[in-house]
């Protein structure tokens, strides 16, 4: 749009075009292509062999540990998404009912924790959840329990709780935005026509925020399934997730081609989830 009406600008326009295609091709497309290529290679005696084969994918489908872990990880991340939406919705709803400056102040308060170091938050949550952590000591001190609880100590439950706490803001924001977009006149019309608050909520507010809820759930799911640090920190021995397995192929296990193949499978799961989410959103509107 900037190059109009002048013949001399042809050169600069072509230069801009070259840069605009060159940058993403070099720094985004080429890395993804080499990544995809690696998934068809394999390791032999500590060396990467560049013969194209499906051996990594075959291992994923035939070995009995990978598919169950992927399935378990998907369930875990769906639970995180569901939990985050369930507790995020009331907060978003309350915020959207506040007036003026208070509404945006509260929204900001929801978002401020996102700016804080993610590692520090995991560490703090870890010190709360541990066997002799703050939570257990508090419950013992109040006399609610006699012995330290163990169901949230360094296992999948701990991963579930930690991820939910870390990702709640990502659930609140899209729901808040879709609640805010509902015209006041619709709510007034509904109550003028004799609907009770709960009827207005169920028949007007909830259907109109469905796209926001779906966006929130997709967001949280994608962020949760890609996270390999949280499970590593609070998951302990039993809290093995798919992301951790992928990451370990690039560290201790040192099998880059297999890790690349596993990551491609993870990417496919994410693409399917995003596609499902946008289908649901389209149907909601």
Contact with another protein (CB under 8 A): which of 49, 123, 276, 279?
A: 123
**By C-beta, is 29 or 145 nearer to another protein?**
29
**By C-beta, is 64 or 101 nearer to another protein?**
101
- Residues between 139 and 158 that touch another protein (CB under 8 A): none
Residue 75 binds another protein (CB under 8 A): no
In whole angstroms, give the CA distance from residue 251 to residue 147: 38
Report helix, strand or coil for 49: strand
- DSSP state for residue 193 in the 8-state scheme: T
- Residues between 3 and 42 that touch another protein (CB under 8 A): 3-6, 9, 12-13, 16-17, 19-21, 23-25, 27-32, 34-35, 38
Residue 132 binds another protein (CB under 8 A): no
Tell me, letter by letter, the H, E, C secondary structure of 190-232.
Answer: HHHCCCCHHHHHHHHHHHHHHHHHHHHHHHHHHHHHCCCHHHH
**By C-beta, is 113 or 207 nearer to another protein?**
113
φ, ψ for residue 49, nearest 5 deg: -100, 125
- Residues between 249 and 278 that touch another protein (CB under 8 A): 250, 256, 259-260, 263, 266-267, 270, 274
**By C-beta, is 62 or 277 nearer to another protein?**
277
Residue 207 binds another protein (CB under 8 A): no
In whole angstroms, give the CA distance from residue 285 to residue 283: 6
- Cross-strand pairs, 49: 42
In whole angstroms, give the CA distance from residue 37 to residue 29: 12
Residue 183 binds another protein (CB under 8 A): no
């Amino acid at each position: 749009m900037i190059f109009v009406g002048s013949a001399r600008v042809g050169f600069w326009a072509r230069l801009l075009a070259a840069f605009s295609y060159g940058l993403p091709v070099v720094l985004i497309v080429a890395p993804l292509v080499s990544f995809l290529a690696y998934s068809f290679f394999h390791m032999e005696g500590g060396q990467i062999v560049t013969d194209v084969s499906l051996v990594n994918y075959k291992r994923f489908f035939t070995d009995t540990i990978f598919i169950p872990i992927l399935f378990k990880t998907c369930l875990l991340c769906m639970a995180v998404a569901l939990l985050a939406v369930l507790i995020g919705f009331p907060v978003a709803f309350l915020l959207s009912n506040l007036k003026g400056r208070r509404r945006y102040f509260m929204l900001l308060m929801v978002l401020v924790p996102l700016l804080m170091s993610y590692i520090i938050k995991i560490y703090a949550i870890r010190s709360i959840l541990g066997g002799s952590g703050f939570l257990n000591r508090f419950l013992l001190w109040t006399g609610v329990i006699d012995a330290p609880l163990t169901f949230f100590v360094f296992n999948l439950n701990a991963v579930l709780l930690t991820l939910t706490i870390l990702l709640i803001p990502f659930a609140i924001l899209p729901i808040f935005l879709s609640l805010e977009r509902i015209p006041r006149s619709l709510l007034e019309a509904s109550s003028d026509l004799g609907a009770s608050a709960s009827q207005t909520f169920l028949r007007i507010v909830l259907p109109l925020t469905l796209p926001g809820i779906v966006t929130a759930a997709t967001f949280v799911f994608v962020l949760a399934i890609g996270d390999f640090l949280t499970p590593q920190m609070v998951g302990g021995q039993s809290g093995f997730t798919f992301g951790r397995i992928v990451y370990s192929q690039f560290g201790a296990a040192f099998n880059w081609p297999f890790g690349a193949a596993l990551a491609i499978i993870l990417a496919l799961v994410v693409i399917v989830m995003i596609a499902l989410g946008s289908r649901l959103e389209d149907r909601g509107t």
